[in-house]
Amino acid sequence: MPSYKLAARKYNAQDTVIEIPGPHNPVSIGAGYCTVIAGPCAVENHSDYIEIAQTLKSIGIHILRAGLYKPRTSPYSFKGLGGEGLKIVEEARQVTGLAVLTEVLDVRDIEDLYPHIDIFQIGSRNMQNFSLLEELGRTDKPVLLKRGLAATIEEWLLAAEYLLDRGNHKIILCERGIRTFEPYARNTVDIGAVPIIKHLSHLPILVDPSHATGRAEMVGPVAKAAVAAGADGLLVEVHQHPEAALSDGRQSLTPEQFRRLYAQIGKLAELEQRILQ
C-alpha cells in the first residue's frame, strides 16, 4: 500500500484529464492531449509581454507562462514584477484568449492572483511548502506541481496528496530535472520519471525542458524525448531576445526556434493520436 492514496493509480483507473476553462475557450491537460505551455521566464514589461503572447498564440499554443513572482537564488537578481505585473497579464489573457499559468510563492498572494490566472504553479523550491500546498488545495483552480530540486518520486506524489486531500483534484505534475553529481547542465532530466508516474499515478505529467537543462540547445532534444516517453505536454521558456532576458535567457528559445519545435512536437503527438494544444 503506497503512502499516497488519492494520487495513486489504484484510486482512479482512468487517467485524469484536467479541463482549464480559460478566459474564452477551455483547454485540456491529460490523456489524449499534448499540451504545450510557453512564454518568457518572467513578465518583464508591457509591450514585450503582449507581443510574445500574440506571437505564441499565432504559433498555436493555448496556455501562456506568466512569471510574476520569481524565486531567484540571489536576492540581487530580478525578482519579477509581482502584483504590479498582474494588469499586463490580464490584458494579454483578454487580448489573446490564452489561459495563463503563474507561480505563487506566498499564500498571501493567492487571493489577488485568483481572478486573473488559470493555473497556479508551485515551483520546485516550494514543493514541500506545506502551508502553500494546503492553501492551494482549498482553491478550485488547477495547480501545476513541480518536482522538488532533490525530491524522490514518492515525496513528490505525497506533496500532490496534500493538494488532493484538501479537495483540489486538478493537479498536474511537472518534471523539471533533479540535482545530481553532474554539473554540465543546470539539472539532470529524469525522463524515466514520466513512465514511472504513469505507472504509479493517474495524474497528468508535463516536462519542463528549459529549467531541466538550463541550455537552449538542449531544450528541443529533451522536449521531444519527453513527449516520446509519454509526457502529457511541456513547459517551455521563449523570449524575443534571449540574450537580453532579465532571467533565464541562456535556456530560452527564440520564437522561431519554438515554432520549429512546436511543429515537431505536433508530429510526435500525431503518432499516438493525441491532440496538440
Site residues (CB under 6 A) for ligand PEP? 41, 67, 71, 103, 123-125, 146, 176, 208, 211
The minimum distance between CB 176 and ligand PEP, in angstroms, equals 4
Return d(Cα 80, Cα 85) in angstroms, integer: 8
Q: Which residues have C-beta within 8 Å of that of residue 37, sequence separation ≥ 6?
A: 61, 63, 64, 65, 101, 206, 233, 234, 235, 236
The site that binds Mn ion (CB under 5 A) totals a number of residues, namely: 2
Contact indicator for 52, 255 with CB cutoff of 8 Å: yes
Three-state SS sequence of 76-89: CCCCCCHHHHHHHH
Q: How far is the CB of 107 from ligand PEP (least distance, A)?
A: 17
Binds 123, which of Mn ion, ligand PEP, none (CB < 5 to 8 A, cut-off by type)? ligand PEP
Q: How far is the CB of 197 from ligand PEP (least distance, A)?
A: 16
CB of 67 to ligand PEP, least distance (A): 5
Across-strand partners of 92? none
Q: Is residue 43 involved in binding Mn ion (CB under 5 A)?
A: no
Residue nearest to ligand PEP (CB): 123
Cβ 244 to Mn ion shortest distance, Å: 15
Q: Which residues in 7-26 contact Mn ion (CB under 5 A)?
A: none
CB of 63 closer than 8 Å to CB of 27: yes
Which cell numbers hold the place of 262? 512546436
- Closer CB to Mn ion, residue 65 or residue 202? 65
The residue written with cell numbers 515554432 in the block is: 259
Contact partner, 146, from ligand PEP, Mn ion, none, Cβ < 5-8 Å per class: ligand PEP
**Does position 144 bind Mn ion by CB under 5 A?**
no
Q: In angstroms, how far is the first alpha carbon of the chain from the final one?
A: 36
- Pick 18 or 43: Cβ nearer ligand PEP: 43
Residue 124 interacts, among ligand PEP, Mn ion, none and using kind-specific CB cut-offs from 5 to 8 Å, with ligand PEP
Q: Which residues contact 21 (CB under 8 A, 6 or more apart)?
A: 99, 118
Q: One symbol per residue from 227 to 266: x for binding Mn ion (CB under 5 A), - otherwise; what is it?
A: ---------------------x------------------
The answer to whether residue 34 forms part of the interface with Mn ion (CB under 5 A) is no
With respect to Mn ion, which residue has the nearer C-beta, 3 or 77?
Answer: 77
Residues that bind Mn ion (CB under 5 A): 41, 248
